[in-house]
Amino acid sequence: MYDMKALYQAESVQDAVALRLKHPEAQIIAGGSDVLVQMREGKRAGAELISVYGLDALRGVSLEADGTLRIGSLTSFSHITRDPLIQKYVNVLGEAVDQVGGPQIRNIGTIGGNTCNGVTSADSASTLFAYDATVELTGQDGVRRVPIQEFYIRAGKVDIRAGELQTAILISRESYEHTFGHYIKYAMRSAMDIATLGTSVNVRLSDDKKYVERARVAFGVAGPIPLRAETAEKTAAGARLSAELAEAFGAAVREDIHPRDSWRAARDFRMHIAVESAKRAFAEAVRLAGGEL
């Protein structure tokens, strides 16, 4: 049994906003893969819930008129992995969310729930940071769009204001066009485990495939919130492809990440993983982009 005070079923986005304003202490629930587990553990005893799971308008992946990739917040992980637009333009995101839990979790868990939790270990987060994603929020005053780097405030805290509901994740055409990426999740078990470290790298190469036009690298669990390693990005930008560049790219992430000691892994071990995974993800992204080291 789940100890809850009330469950409200939103019939539309605006209804969800109205319910949020009327019941400010209520918790939004979508797939329930996080909230229901917490309730079962007694962490949300007596909670009020607002279910948005029935809002099909918030599901699916589409392209807007300007080429922006729009991912509805209720789109499940398994849907994202299989979606043709994701496979064509941001395949690394499908690759990343395909490593969330097991098949049952991926069928019900949503991209909105994964990001709204505000946890640094979210498998989608590092790739969304690496692609400069934007979070769309809908409230009583209309739509607000926030860069994902600003959406994450601190561990477990995101920028959702009173009455607001996350409605989409957006990736601009400029961020994904001619760009190829790779995600590496390091965990204590190969499945059904939270990341000890998550690393997402993407690159855009010159027309002759000899130089890096742009590189992005972002981490989960390398700090209290997901973060970009801009020193490594600057190291690669404009550089000629080589094995030495991959080594330098990996080494440079040390300048920007802040892993901590925990029961899952020591700080120094996480730092070692970060350097090695950044180098390997960079090499694979270059290969996918048609280059050679």
Residue-by-residue DSSP string for 18-85: HHHHH-TTPEEESS-TTHHHHHHTTTTTTEEEEE-TT-GGG--EEE-TTS-EEEETT-BHHHHHH-HH
List pLDDT tens digits, range 177-196: 999 999 999 887 766 678 88
Residue 1 has pLDDT above 60, yes or no: no
Q: Are 74 and 127 contained in the same domain?
A: yes
Distances (CA, A) of 285 to 72, 89, 91, 148, 251: 26, 13, 11, 22, 17
pLDDT band at 94 (very low <50, low <70, confident <90, very high): very high
Residue 6 has pLDDT above 90, yes or no: no
Containing structural domain, residue 26:
4-51
Q: Are 184 and 170 contained in the same domain?
A: no
List pLDDT tens digits, range 144-172: 999 999 999 999 899 999 999 999 999 99
What's this model's pTM, rounded to 2 decimal places?
Answer: 0.93
List pLDDT tens digits, range 223-280: 999 999 999 999 999 999 999 999 999 999 999 999 888 877 888 999 999 999 999 9
Structurally, the chain folds into a number of domains equal to 3
Higher pLDDT, 140 or 47: 140
27 located within any domain: yes
293 located within any domain: no
Residue 122 has pLDDT above 80, yes or no: yes
- For residue 229, the one-letter residue type is A
Higher pLDDT, 49 or 1: 49
Q: Are 65 and 23 contained in the same domain?
A: no
Mean pLDDT for all residues in the chain: 92
Q: What is the CATH number of the domain that holds 40?
A: 3.30.43.10
Q: Are 219 and 116 contained in the same domain?
A: no
127 located within any domain: yes
Q: Are 167 and 73 contained in the same domain?
A: yes
Q: What is the CATH number of the domain that holds 91?
A: 3.30.465.10
Give the residue-averaged pLDDT of 8-33. Answer: 91
Q: Are 17 and 90 contained in the same domain?
A: no
Instruction: Note the pLDDT of residue 36.
Output: 66
Q: Are 66 and 117 contained in the same domain?
A: yes
105 located within any domain: yes
Instruction: Note the pLDDT of residue 130.
Output: 98
24 located within any domain: yes
The two beta strands, 134-139 and 142-147, are: antiparallel
Instruction: Note the pLDDT of residue 128.
Output: 98
Instruction: Note the pLDDT of residue 105.
Output: 82
Best-predicted range by mean pLDDT (30-34, 99-103, 133-137) = 133-137
pLDDT band at 31 (very low <50, low <70, confident <90, very high): confident
Instruction: Note the pLDDT of residue 12.
Output: 96
Higher pLDDT, 34 or 21: 21
Residue 205 has pLDDT above 80, yes or no: yes
Q: What is the CATH number of the domain that holds 198?
A: 3.30.390.50
Instruction: Note the pLDDT of residue 42.
Output: 64
Q: Are 88 and 156 contained in the same domain?
A: yes
Which residues, other chains included, contact 34 with Cβ-Cβ below 8 Å and sequence gap of 6+? 109, 113, 117
Q: Are 71 and 166 contained in the same domain?
A: yes
Residue 103 has pLDDT above 90, yes or no: no
Q: Are 34 and 71 contained in the same domain?
A: no
Q: Are 244 and 276 contained in the same domain?
A: yes
Instruction: Note the pLDDT of residue 213.
Output: 98
How far apart are the C-alpha atoms of 5 and 48, rounded to whole Å? 5
Backbone dihedral angles phi then psi of residue 83, each to the nearest 5 degrees: -65, 130
79 located within any domain: yes
Residue that finishes a domain, picked among 13, 28, 51 = 51
Q: Are 133 and 88 contained in the same domain?
A: yes
281 located within any domain: yes
pLDDT band at 37 (very low <50, low <70, confident <90, very high): low
List pLDDT tens digits, range 262-272: 877 888 999 99
Give the residue-averaged pLDDT of 61-88. Answer: 97
